[in-house]
Amino acid sequence: MSSNLPTDITNFIQFLRLNEGLSDNTLQAYQRDLKKFWAYVEPTALTQIERDRVEDFLYQWHENQGSARSIARCLSTLKRFYQFMVSNQRMATDPAGAVKAPKLMKKIPRVISEQQVEALLNAPDETTPLGQRDRAILELMYASGLRVSEVVNLPYEQINLSAGLVQVSGKGKKERIVPIGQLAIEAVADYLKSARPALLKDNRWVPTLFVSRLGRPMTRQTLWHRIKNLAFEAGIQGDLSPHGLRHAFATHLINHGADLRTVQLLLGHSDLSTTQIYTHVAKARMQKIHQTHHPRG
């Protein structure tokens, strides 16, 4: 961390490091935001800042084409910094406390088409144990909308193929039960019958449903690299997000008439507004189809 900063900033960064155990990258992000603010208000002392100065700083950042997301992040940094200042009796009031963050536009995720999903699902080489595993993973993800972390951490006993259900422990350890279709059931059954025992080799017990080529639980990074490589083999242009099949699952459901509340429950979203982003994706797709195929589009 830089030593060419006011003592109040270095003390704050040190407080975060010692009390919250934040990573160096996170600490550096806090420091960058505070350094930018300090450069703007100089020579006024940080302890003499009032609300209008904070608002002026954010307004100027906006005028210089700063994104709403970066401005909101910086405001969050300033709020934490000045809460720290008040709690340590360096200031009587928090000048950033009442400042409102700019409204953030939710980023519309890139969604691959149903034809692209089909190509991706057919990409694994099912003559090999790894190919059977990858096909089972892809079918399960597209059938259920599970997050990458939920897939790699899914316990062996929490999928019920006879009932066509999977029990998921999602964010905040919230449990949900999600149905899966026949094709996913068949792919996972084939994997369990031959591929998983072949990957385990010495028949040791591993708690997770899916295992690596070394017979260990998979990591998020491994799964992401597999999906990325298979997308390339399937001819899907551009980087496919780690959540690509989750986005496709939700959008394709809505495209085929599923209601938003059902999709929310399947995805495990606590807030319906998070799910609403997929209605924008579906509308954008309908608009594109209209423009392409309508004679006056």
Q: Summarize pLDDT for 52-90 with one digit per residue, the tens.
A: 889 888 877 776 667 778 888 899 999 999 999 999 999
Fold of 114-293: hpI Integrase; Chain A (1.10.443)
Does the pTM surpass 0.85? The reply is no
User: Which one is catalytic: 69, 106, 171, 213?
Assistant: 171
User: What is the Cα 208 distance to its own chain's centre?
Assistant: 22
Q: How many residues does the chain have?
A: 297
User: Which one is catalytic: 79, 80, 196, 269?
Assistant: 269
The strand pair at 159-160 and 175-179 is best described as: unpaired
Q: Are 77 and 34 in contact (CB under 8 A)?
A: yes
* Block residue for tokens 């003592």: 7
pLDDT at residue 237 above 70?
yes
Query: CB within 8 A of 12, min separation 6: which ones?
Result: 30, 34, 80, 81, 84, 85
Percentage of the chain modeled with pLDDT above 70: 88
| 135, 141, 142, 145: CA torsion to nearest 10 | 180
213 counts as catalytic: no
Angle at 53 between CA 49 and CA 54, to 5 degrees: 90
Residue type at 251?
T
User: Which one is catalytic: 79, 133, 147, 196?
Assistant: 147
Domain at 7-87, CATH class:
mainly alpha
30 counts as catalytic: no
Of 151, 123, 150, which Cα lies nearest the Cα of 137?
151
Q: pLDDT digit string (tens) for 5-44?
A: 899 999 999 999 988 878 888 899 999 999 999 998 888 8
Q: pLDDT digit string (tens) for 140-170?
A: 999 999 998 899 999 999 999 999 999 998 7
User: Which one is catalytic: 133, 196, 246, 252?
Assistant: 246
| 286-297 mean pLDDT | 55
Residue type at 107?
K
Sign of CA dihedral 175, 179, 184, 186: positive
Residue ranges per structural domain of the chain = 7-87, 114-293
Domains 7-87 and 114-293 share a fold: no
pLDDT at residue 208 above 70?
yes
110 counts as catalytic: no
User: Which one is catalytic: 36, 226, 243, 285?
Assistant: 243
- What distance in Å separates the CA atoms of residue 248 and residue 278, rounded to the nearest whole number? 9
| 190-199 mean pLDDT | 95
246 counts as catalytic: yes
Query: Can you give the pLDDT at residue 1?
Result: 44
Q: Are 246 and 145 in contact (CB under 8 A)?
A: yes
